[in-house]
Amino acid sequence: MDTDLDRDLLSDLPQSIIESILVKVPLVDAVRTSILSRKWRYKWAAITELVFSDTCLTSGHDKSIISCNLVNFITRCLFLHDGPIHKFELNTSFSPASPDLDQWLLFLSRKDIKELIIDIGEDDWFRAPSCVFFCPKLTHLVLVRCELNPPPNFKGFLCLKHLSLQQVIIPPHDIEVLISSCPLLESLTLSYFDSLELTIRAPNLKYLNLEGEFKDIRLENTPHLIGISVAMYMTDDIAEHFEQCSGCNFDKFLGGVPCLERLIGHIYFTKYLSIGNEQGNFPVTYQNLKFIELYQVSFEDMKELLVVLRLIVSSPNLEELQISSSSITTTTDIYDLEFWERDWPADCTFGKLKIVHMTDFSGLPHEIAFIKFLLGHSPVLEQMIVAPTMYVTDKVVKMLIDLLTFRRASPQATVKFIQEPL
């Protein structure tokens, strides 16, 4: 007669529960459960998520042996697997040979793959086989250091919601076609692209992350975007292109994103938006925009300053503003301080702004005037933090005195002056 001590309670659990347990442990440990008993020999072979990394194998000194063992382990796991594979992730510093990788991806394309993440080698690139483009249930695709060439008969990823391409080589026209061929796309990350002129058409896109050497970026049919992060790198070729381009970059990039909630602009972003931007009526109001963070804004360039002002004036519900300054001189009109009284109405208010954080502050005239403007037009401001650049020492006392004497529209506003030690 069986007693509770004799019963194998874990083995008697439903297969779905066993799978949910095995998915939560490292894959190598899940595979090791096959030695527990005859019942457990192939339990692991039905799990739907396979995650491979360098930790799958014991450490060693011979990289070629470690790489070979990893390849053999992945191959065995795939060909012993029984059932669909919804997630496959390969994140390793080793680079499997192209035939092995092609074989794995072909196998996965026939296993109802939904999430595919491949990041291999630190310096090596791989070419994605055409079978990658024929995974009809794919919802999540991440490729790092990869060459992509969509085949002529590629009809798009009709279920894809998340696309991340980092250091990927792909013809410029093909990247635009790829994006527009994903009608359900919600999140897009493009990193380390070179000299790219990009038009993005994605009607369901919510999150956009761009990093690289972009000559031009145009957002078309992206009405649901709520989060944007952009880092633009400058080269002589791109700087020359900026000087020659026509049209208003602000309108091309931010003219069609009325639902925007969060905007982060890294280096050269405000410079890019300033091209073609003129002071005047602002056709778009960002009712949902509550957080803006801008890096290396040149307060010596009136065009960049106008970009900042256009953003915050067009965002009536803005709650937090973070700006780091750049002291690179670009124009000669930096002392036109009458601009603040002449061109901006006295009744301009930022009715929801609560937190302002300014870093790398140099005490330039327009930096001081900008802070004075915010303090005088933000009735619910709670805290303004000002951190000067570490290279400014002789102006610190004067800057502090100026900040403390400015009129504050908010009675509860505090000004915190933070000086980083050298």
- Res. 201: pLDDT tops 70: yes
Residue 175: Cβ within 10 Å count: 20
State residue 377's pLDDT score.
94
> For residue range 327-378, what is the model confidence (pLDDT) as tens digits?
654 444 446 777 777 777 667 899 999 999 999 888 888 888 899 999 999 9
Q: What is the pLDDT of residue 42?
A: 63
* Residues 141 and 148: beta-carbon distance below 8 Å: no
338 or 182, higher pLDDT: 182
Q: How far apart are CA 385 and CA 322, in angstroms?
A: 9
Report the predicted TM-score, pTM, of the whole model to 2 decimal places: 0.87
CA pair distance 51, 111, nearest whole angstrom? 15
Distance CA 24, CA 47 (A): 10
Residue 22 has pLDDT above 70, yes or no: no
Q: What is the per-residue pLDDT for 135?
A: 95
DSSP run (H or E) holding 74:
helix 63-80
Copy the structure tokens of residue 259: 């639902």
Higher pLDDT, 282 or 81: 81
pLDDT score, position 41: 58
Cβ atoms within 10 Å, residue 236: 7
For residue 327, what pLDDT is reported?
A: 61
Q: How large is the average pLDDT for residues 254-261?
A: 94
Mean pLDDT (whole number) for 67-96: 87
Is the per-residue pLDDT at 104 higher than 80? yes
CA distance 29 to 25: 7
pLDDT band at 18; cut points 50, 70, 90 = low
User: What does the pLDDT average to over 386-397?
Assistant: 73
Q: What is the tens place of the pLDDT at every residue in 169-178? A: 998 889 999 9
User: What's the mean pLDDT when you consider all of the chain?
Assistant: 84
Q: Give pLDDT, residue 36.
A: 54
Lowest-pLDDT range, 141-145, 156-160, 204-208, 327-331? 327-331
Question: What pLDDT does 334 receive?
Answer: 47
Of 36, 41, 72, nearest to 57 by C-alpha is: 72
Confidence label for 421 from pLDDT (cuts 50, 70 and 90): low
- Which whole number is the average pLDDT over 247-271? 92
Of 68-82, 244-258, 332-346, 360-374, the one with minimum mean pLDDT is 332-346
DSSP 128: P
d(CA 34, CA 12): 15
* Predicted confidence (pLDDT) at residue 153 exceeds the cutoff of 50: yes
Q: Are the CB atoms for 116 and 135 separated by under 8 Å?
A: yes
